[in-house]
Amino acid sequence: MLWCGNADRWIKALPHARCQTRTMSDAPRKTSTPASAKARSTTPISQAFRDFIATGWVDQPPAVPRALEATSHCETRRARLSRLFAETFPQCAIVIPAGEPKQRSNDTDYPYRPHTAFAYFTGWGSASVPGSVLLGTPRDGGHSWALFTRPPAPRTTDEFYANAALGEFWTGKRPDLEEVSGLLELGAHDIADFSLESIATANPVAMILEAEITLTNELQLLRSKGTSKTLVKETLEADSYLAQVVSEMRLIKDAYEIDELSRAIVATHLGFDDIVAALPQAIGHTRGERIIEGVFNQRARLEGNTTGYDTIAASGPHACILHWVTNDGPVAQGDLLLVDAGIEMDSLYTADITRTIPVGGTFSADQKMIYEAVLEAADAAFSVVKPGALFRHVHEAAMAVIARKVHEWGLLPVDLEVSLSPEGQHHRRYMIHGTSHHLGLDVHDCAEARREMYLDKELEAGMVFTIEPGLYFQPDDETIPLPWRGIGVRIEDNILVTHDGGLNLSAAIPRTVAEVEKWLKPSTGRATI
């Protein structure tokens, strides 16, 4: 995306914006082949061809879509957002862009995913149209909400057949405005009718800035020129508040969100079953980790939208690299295989599960000892989960076990009490990361929430987060006995806070030593790809 041309006019970058732009005066739109493809394009440009291809098409009956399951929840979310803004920034318009595709190389993009805030307040997930915008206009102490999106191109334009970024022949048919309105139960309008300048002239504006750089640039320019209506707490303060509120609203999941997360975990379980079934194939390949990654990612595409994050398939010493995603190593007999993976559903809610399994089918004595220490830490963290406990208590409970274990093994240069003190923390050498993070539409959900609403927040029913302690004995760490070097273990589960405690949503995926070893034995009931 880029900022182009006349600063007094809204210019919205389309997919492949480096070569394809339009202004408000361009409606009805006329688009052409992206510039990067013109040198190799053989698309006919004759008037005879244009006349011929514009005719002879069967009128498609309008679809009568069924509203998405999330729509009622989204209406509630939007109403709550309006109330919160009315208290702090009255008469402030709210702009939540879906965003545009991100460039991968030249004229190709990464698979499109709308911004999380847009998906949260519309319910429009993997099928959403790039460049859409959700607008809340101040009205009667709240907001009137509308969606702006790009409808299908008329057959009288060349967009539908000649534009590789947008054309129906290339990317498929987009839903028309009536379909979108029915799906989302939200009034849908042509994006050509969206004018940020008009909105900002009439009202102060708060916007999710990182969602789309083109709109961000325009809003900042309008503010610098004094075009944007001011308020007492102006400009970036309103934007920051919006980002904060959107994150903090998502700390408590509603029934729909919990159901989607549960579905994502069930799908992820199938993916882990696929991994177990593929172990013999992985062992025989020099890049066995990629076989592990591949079978899981295939399951993700079958069951949902894609993976929620890059799959970590870390065998042997690679398990000591916390975000190992290169996945180009062998999977060897006798090693432990750490897999950190989650499937993202079409709603964009994702699981986040880690299991560490012995490639040969059984744990060695050393591997078992380290694994059970991590499991004990995970269970200790889970035991404190209940409404009223602080979020950081989950981490502290896990760390108490990790510190005690490495102290018992003689790895600490200080007493246990010293290591556990804020001035010590020597045990963190072997587990540098935190124990938990919130989970939802983003794998690391609610990232813009304030510390007092996250780490120092009391747990409440409806929160969903991970518990993922680990021990990582680096292959070159001289504080570690030689036989343990290169062993990495992590166990990660997804936890729902209930009214009377906690529920491990991923408990069905084998996690004890006995369960894991039984899992690895040949089974006719194992899921296959």
The CB-side HSE value for 253 (13 A sphere, CA atoms) comes to: 24
Q: Give the alpha-carbon dihedral of 507, 444, 485, 476, to 10 degrees.
A: 180
pLDDT confidence bin for 22, thresholds 50/70/90: very low
| Residue 174 or 4, more confident | 174
The DSSP-derived string for 95-149 is EEE---PPEEETTEEPPP---HHHHHHH---TTPPTT-EEEEEEETTEEEEEEEE
pLDDT of 381 > 50? The answer is yes
Dist CA 464 CA 447 (whole Å): 14
Weakest-pLDDT range from 222-226, 251-255, 413-417, 485-489:
222-226
| Tens digits of residue pLDDT in 179-201 | 999 999 999 999 999 999 999 98
pLDDT of 527 > 70? The answer is no
pLDDT of 246 > 50? The answer is yes
Q: Can you read off the two tokens belonging to residue 90?
A: 């009255």
Q: What is the pLDDT of residue 91?
A: 87
Dihedral sign (CA 14, 16, 18, 19): negative
pLDDT confidence bin for 32, thresholds 50/70/90: very low
The DSSP-derived string for 160-195 is HHH-TTT-HHHH-PPP-HHHHHHHHTS-EEEGGG--
The CB-side HSE value for 21 (13 A sphere, CA atoms) comes to: 15
Highest mean pLDDT among 51-55, 61-65, 254-258: 254-258
Place of tokens 């994006």: 191
Q: Can you read off the two tokens belonging to residue 464?
A: 């969903």
pLDDT of 11 > 60? The answer is no
Dist CA 49 CA 44 (whole Å): 7
- Provide the strand spans (E) within 212-311: 306-307
| Tens digits of residue pLDDT in 427-464 | 999 999 999 999 999 999 999 999 999 999 999 999 99
| Tens digits of residue pLDDT in 403-423 | 999 999 999 999 999 999 999
- Angle between helix axes 71-88 and 236-249 (nearest 10 degrees) is 140
User: In 4-34, which positions are buried (b, 16+ CB within 10 angstroms) versus exposed (e)?
Assistant: beeeeebbbbbbbbebbbbeeeeeebebbbb
Highest mean pLDDT among 14-28, 228-242, 353-367: 353-367
Dist CA 64 CA 179 (whole Å): 7
User: In 423-444, which positions are buried (b, 16+ CB within 10 angstroms) versus exposed (e)?
Assistant: ebebbebbbeeebbbbbbbbbe
Full-model pTM = 0.90
Place of tokens 């194939």: 281
DSSP element (H, E) containing 498: strand 493-498
| CATH code for the structural domain at 11-27+64-249 | 3.40.350.10
Q: Which residues contact 287 (CB under 8 A, 6 or more apart)?
A: 327, 328, 329, 330
Count of CB atoms situated within 10 Å of the CB of 225: 11
Domain boundaries, the chain: 11-27+64-249, 255-520
| Residue 67 DSSP label | P
Q: What is the pLDDT of residue 24?
A: 32
Dist CA 148 CA 146 (whole Å): 7
Per the rule left: phi > 0, alpha: psi between -120 and 50, beta: everything else, 235 is: left
User: CB–CB of 36/248 below 8 Å?
Assistant: no
Summary mean pLDDT of the chain: 89
Which of these, 208, 239, 220, lies nearest to 96 by C-alpha position? 208
The runs of H, that is alpha helices, within 478-512 are: none
- Give the C-alpha distances (Å, rounded to integers) separating 281 from 290, 343, 522: 11, 22, 14
Q: What would the mean pLDDT of 75-94 be, rounded to a whole number?
A: 93
User: CB–CB of 236/207 below 8 Å?
Assistant: no
Q: What is the pLDDT of residue 31?
A: 38
| Tens digits of residue pLDDT in 270-328 | 999 999 999 999 998 999 999 999 999 999 999 999 999 999 999 999 999 999 999 99
Q: What would the mean pLDDT of 30-41 be, rounded to a whole number?
A: 54
Q: What is the pLDDT of residue 7?
A: 27
Q: What is the pLDDT of residue 121?
A: 98
Percent of the chain whose pLDDT exceeds 70: 89
Phi then psi for 338, rounded to 5 degrees? -100, 120
Q: What is the pLDDT of residue 477?
A: 97
User: CB–CB of 189/148 below 8 Å?
Assistant: yes
User: CB–CB of 385/501 below 8 Å?
Assistant: yes
Strand 103-105 relative to strand 108-109: parallel, antiparallel, unpaired?
A: antiparallel
Strand 142-149 relative to strand 188-190: parallel, antiparallel, unpaired?
A: parallel
User: CB–CB of 12/190 below 8 Å?
Assistant: no
| CATH code for the structural domain at 255-520 | 3.90.230.10
Q: Which residues contact 503 (CB under 8 A, 6 or more apart)?
A: 495, 496, 497
Q: What is the pLDDT of residue 222?
A: 87
Q: What is the pLDDT of residue 8?
A: 29
